Amino acid sequence: MTARLRCYRCNETYHPPEQRCVCGEPLWFDVGDGFAPDPDAPGLWRFRDLLPVDDPGGLAHAAGGTPLVRTSRLDDYAGCRVHVKDEGEHPTGSFKDRGTAVGVAAALDRDRPAVGTVSHGNMAMSVAAYAAAADLDCVVLVPADIPPERLRIIAQYDPHVLRIDGDYGRLYDESLAVGAETGVTFLNSDSPLRVAGQKTTTLEVLSAFRPEAPDAIVMPVSSGGHASGAWKAIRDLAACDALPATPKLCFVQSAACDPIAAAFRAGDDAVSPTTPGDTIAYSIANPDPPSGTRALAAARATDGAVVSVTDDEIRDARARLARDAGLCVETASATSLAGARRLAADGVLAPDDRVVLVATGSGFKEASAAASDADPPTVPLADLQGAVAGRL
């Protein structure tokens, strides 16, 4: 365990609370060269040798340890052999809990522990929940026009919610400056602590396939924090001589907001900001992703790809996950399946490939996205037997 940070691009080292290299790229934590998973530890703490903090107990024990499900009924649709990593099983319904558990553990070690985040979605819920459980003050910065439904889900954990009147895109940097002055540990999308926690999704996937490795891991990408974590997991295991083979890292965006996929298609070395359109995948609509260039590098370094899919493809994939796998995933998460189908059609994935789709979040927070035409027949109680038999 070490508290040294490093730039993946220039190899320059730093110390917390630094978040970015002088070159502008985000930093991540160094690890030692030894690693022995602890099979008795709860959730992601199995990988504590590769984490920058100690297990704080409490709700942090509920982060990680999500199921990996073989979903063979999706194989034909996807064009490869599909496994789903179901991150919706977390207390707040998304993989964000992994980064939060590590971030809150780090904040607890400080003199005036308080945490904060810039989010109006899953990250806000996650940070608010874990702060509540750890008895930490929590500041959540949301845009002025946040939908009331989402505000209510965040507010139930009783954080200090502030609606920000101004350019929400500037808050990423502004909040870090405010955090340095006020002692609040801001856990933004790609903060090194979050990425350390979020790499455990891929550490778990790779450990489930040992002594082999999956051919590819497919996940939605927005800020690039989770995608960077996937790459970091691969690099950490390689550094410890514990990587049997390198899976292709494939990232998926919504076509309405796809700056990373655009850079991949164009063969660019860096991601440029885009003007976002409307998409049903609102959790992955970051037009200026802070770890976009790092995610792009991850896809290239692993022989993977970055693709984008339309709202129609996402809607169709979401329905397939429910009907053919019994999984209710968030709209943004269904991009994994839509993306795999694209990648198989493009020849990046082969029919025999073992592919892990990361279902990043639960769909149970979005009832409106579920089957909109649900209109079952009404049958008189007296006709029940005939009605059931007629449907089998």
Ligand X SMILES: *Cc1c(COP(=O)(O)O)cnc(C)c1O
To Zn ion, the closest distance from the beta carbon of 231 in angstroms equals: 15
Of Zn ion, ligand X, none, which one does residue 308 interact with (CB within 5 to 8 Å by kind)? none
For 337: left if phi > 0, alpha if psi spans -120 to 50, otherwise beta; the answer is alpha
> Does 327 participate in binding ligand X (rule CB under 6 A)?
no
Residues between 285 and 314 that touch ligand X (CB under 6 A): none
> Does 86 participate in binding ligand X (rule CB under 6 A)?
no
Indicate the SS3 state at residue 14: strand
- Nearer to Zn ion (CB atom), residue 7 or residue 138: 7
Cβ distance 94 to 361 under 8 Å? yes
**Rounded Cα distance, 75 and 341, in Å:** 9
Residues between 172 and 191 that touch ligand X (CB under 6 A): 189
> Does 122 participate in binding ligand X (rule CB under 6 A)?
yes
Nearest-10 Cα torsion for 280, 197, 287, 164: 90
Cβ distance 92 to 125 under 8 Å? yes
> Does 92 participate in binding ligand X (rule CB under 6 A)?
no
To ligand X, the closest distance from the beta carbon of 360 in angstroms equals: 3
* Sequence-ordered strand ranges (E) for the chain: 5-7, 13-14, 27-29, 68-70, 81-86, 114-118, 137-143, 160-164, 185-186, 216-220, 248-254, 305-309, 354-359
Of 2-10, 34-42, 316-324, 326-334, which segment contacts Zn ion by CB under 5 A? 2-10
The residue written with tokens 């450990």 in the block is 207
To Zn ion, the closest distance from the beta carbon of 8 in angstroms equals: 8
- Nearer to ligand X (CB atom), residue 59 or residue 329: 329
> Does 330 participate in binding ligand X (rule CB under 6 A)?
yes
**Rounded Cα distance, 218 and 260, in Å:** 15
Residues between 211 and 250 that touch ligand X (CB under 6 A): 220-227
**Rounded Cα distance, 288 and 275, in Å:** 9
Residues between 11 and 50 that touch Zn ion (CB under 5 A): 21, 23, 25
Q: Which residues bind ligand X (CB under 6 A)?
A: 94, 96, 121-122, 189, 220-227, 283-284, 330, 332-333, 360-361
Q: Which residues bind Zn ion (CB under 5 A)?
A: 7, 9-10, 21, 23, 25
